[in-house]
Amino acid sequence: MTLLLNILVDGIAYGMILFMIAVGLSVTMGLMRVVNLAHGGFALLGGTFAHWLGSDLGWPFWLALPLAVLGTVALSMPLERLIYRRVYGFTDLQQVLATIGLTFLMIASVNLWQGSSLLTVPLPEGLKASVDLGFRTLPVHRLVVIAFGAAVVVGLWLLLDRTRFGIRLRAAVDNRGTASAHGINTDRIFMLAFALGAGLAALGGVLGAEILPIDAYYPLRYMVLFLIVVAVGGMGSIPGSLLAALGLGLLETATRYLVPDYATIAFFALVIALLTVRPNGLMGKIA
């Protein structure tokens, strides 16, 4: 019972982190059709900013977090304008290369600025504590992560379902040509969606630093993980990303608890089996 609860809480928290980081990747892949291997770099940038603000400057966590997210968003917009916009028309392979190059540059920049050691994000006392449920205790941090994840899910749903931006974004994902023919400014949508995705990745990176520790090589180390969420969820599908992130988070956590020595192998084997049966992911559009 305790084991099950542990798996559930850790798995959902982990899944929420994966969702926050990967949802932007899924949207940009569905929308711009760009294979963006550098997406994890935005989580790294967020984490690095938070480390700098929290550790080096000693600012409180709840101030460092939003500033780190804003800083990442501010960097992502010119990047989209200058680099990504030209990458959209490339072949898969060129996109892969361009974004690997970009990943290397991000790693090198963080390395130059903060070195290659672990970049910790100091948590406030409140987050380090545990809550007592009577029969057992739960770490507050995991619960806060889950709460943030839930808030992001609801926020995204409201944004996409209830705002003009959301309607246009969904129209553009479904059919780019039709969308621009109807006078929707797809360039603007692309940039906003990209920045939103980068910001969410930064949020996930900072909040998830306890689970996915941050150092300069972060984007390479977790690249496959984020790509798997997108591929399993189905490109461009936000509900798919959520389902995949939670499922994979629970799966990986469960294998870690139950077969610790073979967790990674079991995880990958199950993912490969799933993608063999459903090459377009759980909720992907049929190609």
Partner 1 sequence: MNTTMKSWLPPLALLALAVVLYFALPYNLAFLTRILIMAVLVLSLDLVLGFAGIATLGQAAFYGAGAYAAGLFAIHVWADPVAGLLVAGLAGAALAFVSGLIVLRTHGLTLIMLTIAVASICHEIANKARDVTGGADGLRGIRMEPVLGLWQFDFIGKTGFWYALTVLAVVFVLLTLIARSPFGLSLRGIHESPERMTAIGVSVYWRRVTAYTLGGGIAGLAGALSAQVTQLVSLESFSFTLSAEALIMLILGGTGRLYGAVLGTLVFMWVHHWAAANDPFNWLFVIGGLVLAVVFFLPRGIIAIPTALKRLGGRHAGT
Hey, what are 254's tokens?
């469960």
Task: Indicate the residue among 41 and 54 with the shorter CB distance to partner 1.
Answer: 41
How near is the Cβ of 69 to partner 1 at its closest, in Å?
24
Task: Indicate the residue among 138 and 224 with the shorter CB distance to partner 1.
Answer: 224
Residue 131, helix vs strand vs coil:
strand
Dihedral angle computed from the Cα positions of residues 201, 206, 208 and 214, in that order, rounded to the nearest 10 degrees: 100
Using CB under 8 A, list all residues that contact partner 1.
29, 35, 83, 86, 90, 92-94, 96-98, 100-105, 107-109, 111-112, 116, 220, 223-224, 227-228, 230-231, 235, 261-262, 264-265, 268-269, 271-272, 275-276, 279-281, 287
Q: Which ranges of the chain does DSSP label H, i.e. alpha helix?
A: 2-32, 40-51, 61-79, 85-87, 92-114, 125-128, 140-162, 164-174, 176-181, 186-207, 218-221, 223-233, 238-258, 263-277
Using the structure block, give the residue that is written with the tokens 């380090």.
128
Q: Is 232 exposed, middle or buried (0-12, 13-18, 19+ CB in 10 A)?
A: buried
How near is the Cβ of 265 to partner 1 at its closest, in Å?
5
Hey, what are 76's tokens?
């992502």
How near is the Cβ of 178 to partner 1 at its closest, in Å?
22
Q: How far apart are CA 63 and CA 67, in angstroms?
A: 6
How near is the Cβ of 35 to partner 1 at its closest, in Å?
5
How near is the Cβ of 13 to partner 1 at its closest, in Å?
23
Task: Indicate the residue among 12 and 29 with the shorter CB distance to partner 1.
Answer: 29
Task: Indicate the residue among 65 and 119 with the shorter CB distance to partner 1.
Answer: 119
How near is the Cβ of 193 to partner 1 at its closest, in Å?
18
Angle of helix 238-258 relative to helix 140-162, nearest 10 degrees, comes to 160
Task: Indicate the residue among 41 and 71 with the shorter CB distance to partner 1.
Answer: 41
Task: Indicate the residue among 29 and 145 with the shorter CB distance to partner 1.
Answer: 29
Angle of helix 186-207 relative to helix 164-174, nearest 10 degrees, comes to 100
Task: Indicate the residue among 44 and 53 with the shorter CB distance to partner 1.
Answer: 44
How near is the Cβ of 221 to partner 1 at its closest, in Å?
9
